[in-house]
Amino acid sequence: MYKVMIFIDGTWLYRTLPRLAEQSGKGEFKIDYGVLPKVVARELADRLGVDYAGIDVVRNHIFASLPTNYDHLDEGLITRQNEFYTLLREDYHYETELFNIDFRGRRVRQADRDPGDNFQPREKCVDIALASKMLYQAAMPFGMDIAAVVLGDRDFTPVLQTVRQLGKRVLLVSVRSSCAQELADPEDRERVKDYDTLWMDDHIDELELRYEPQWLECQSPEHVGERAFQTTYRPRRGEPVYCDACRSAYSQRRSSGASAGYQEEESEYGPQAGLPTIGETLEGVVEFKKEEKGYGFVTTDDGISFFFHLSDLEDLDFESLEEGQEVLFEVKTLPVGGKAGAAQNVRPMEE
Ligand SMILES: [Zn+2]
């Protein structure tokens, strides 16, 4: 039995997948992380000339970075990234090691930043964490026999060499257009691998995440009629699922419920009555603060919530800002539907 551990450079993979998708003529391409270890095991069995059952993938590690202090326009993007890592951890049992990168209030994607801005996020932690975890596992007696590494940067050359010097074998899993020459070299002059490289390019159809429609049962207590429905949506484990009809009924109720206070006033006093105006100075309390992400919400006495980013603070320090603290601020944007407005110049209450 061969014990295999998979080590994924998530930052590299995140950068590489769109290119891989483009080359293979696929528009939207997502990798199926449940299938990846199986492909690795099968390809290893092939290369070793053993039965598939003789390969035991004991652990999958993924190392990646998570932006902090980013421009709040990227909130949705980062939420999706977070959900993705939670999915890997909880549903696919990956070991996820995530490292924060301070974006200093900037947009996460370089394409979204000012072209003159030469800001470079520092993300060296990911490489070093991957290297040290792999060396640790390679040096452990009875730890692993084979490290399957999903990466492409030449910085990993010395660590792959050392893993091999420790008597462990290395399978390189990479993408042709995103793999450093030293690693890709079929003659392996740098001595970084024990097998022919597993090119993800050659297995793209197999690795692609497909949303095959499946039958689920609507769990809404208000559902009427037959509960089974077909969907391509993959609910998270334990997540309640609703059919389309129940979901749209629910979201309609929610959005009207969230602004119920104003709707009553609307009918009595006209559309804008009761709502603050943009630029208006309001009093509020810090309702909630997301420490590691650099944002929070303030709520007025009337119960209207406004988002703020740490760059919206004035004479206030984000770290020492406390939930429940009273503040003054100006309205930057108004709430829409169920979505909070935005605050600016969030500052201490005048004494
Ligand atoms: Zn339903």
> Where are the chain's structural domains?
2-207, 214-258, 281-348
Mean pLDDT value across residues 289-309: 84
Q: What's residue 259's pLDDT?
A: 47
Q: How far is the CA of 243 from the centre of ligand 1 (A)?
A: 4
- Gap from CA of 216 to ligand 1 centroid (Å): 10
- Asked whether residue 258 carries a pLDDT value surpassing 60, the answer given is no
pLDDT of residue 329: 93
pLDDT digits (tens, 9 = 90+) for 179-238: 999 999 999 999 999 999 999 999 988 888 876 677 888 888 888 888 888 877 767 666
Cα separation, 92 vs 79, whole angstroms: 19
Q: How far is the CA of 248 from the centre of ligand 1 (A)?
A: 10
The answer on pLDDT for 263 being more than 70 is no
Locate the DSSP E strands across 142-261.
146-150, 169-174, 198-199, 214-217, 228-231
54 or 84, which is more confident: 54
Distance 242 CA to ligand 1 centre (A): 5
Q: Which of 175, 180, 125 has the alpha carbon at shortest distance from 158?
A: 180
CA of 232 to the centre of ligand 1 (A): 16
Name residues whose C-beta falls within 8 Å of residue 342's C-beta, 6 or more positions apart in sequence: 72, 306, 307, 308, 312, 331, 332, 333
- With a CB cutoff of 8 Å and minimum separation 6, the contacts of 62 are 8, 10, 85, 88, 94, 95, 96, 97
CATH class of 2-207: alpha beta
What confidence score (pLDDT) does residue 261 get? 40
Distance 211 CA to ligand 1 centre (A): 21
For the chain, percent of residues with pLDDT exceeding 70: 89
Q: How confident is the model at residue 273 (pLDDT cuts 50, 70, 90)?
A: very low
Per-residue DSSP letter, 69: S
**What is the number of alpha carbons within 13 Å of residue 339 lying toward its C-beta?**
8
Query: What is the amino acid identity at position 265?
Result: E
3-state secondary structure of 195: coil
CA 79–ligand 1 middle distance (angstroms): 27
Rounded-to-integer distance, Cα 58 and Cα 35, Å = 15
The Å distance, Cα 220 to ligand 1 centre, comes to 5
Ligand 1 midpoint to CA 255 (Å): 19
Residue 239, SS3 per DSSP: coil
CA of 249 to the centre of ligand 1 (A): 9
Residue 7 token pair: 């080590």
Q: Which of 32-36, 123-127, 179-183, 256-260 has the lowest mean pLDDT?
A: 256-260
Rounded to the nearest whole angstrom, what is the distance from the C-alpha of residue 239 to the centroid of ligand 1?
14
Cβ neighbours around 172 below 10 Å, total: 24
Label residue 332 by pLDDT band (50, 70, 90).
confident
Cβ atoms of residues 346 and 300 within 8 Å: no
CA distances from 55 to 64, 91, 214 (A): 26, 22, 31
Q: How far is the CA of 309 from the centre of ligand 1 (A)?
A: 38
Strand partners, 198: 173
Distance 222 CA to ligand 1 centre (A): 7
DSSP line for 263-286: HHHHHHH-TTTT---TT-EEEEEE
Q: How far is the CA of 167 from the centre of ligand 1 (A)?
A: 57
Residues 281-348: name the CATH superfamily: Nucleic acid-binding proteins (2.40.50.140)
Q: Give the strands of the sheet with 146-150, arranged side by side.
A: 95-102, 55-68, 2-9, 146-150, 169-174, 198-199
Q: For residue range 85-112, list pLDDT tens digits in order.
A: 888 888 889 999 998 888 888 898 888 8
pLDDT at 16 over 80: yes
Residues 6+ apart with CB under 8 A from 349: 283, 326, 327, 328
- Per DSSP, helices labelled H in 140-259 are 157-165, 181-184, 204-207, 244-258
* Cα-to-centroid distance, 83 and ligand 1 (Å): 25
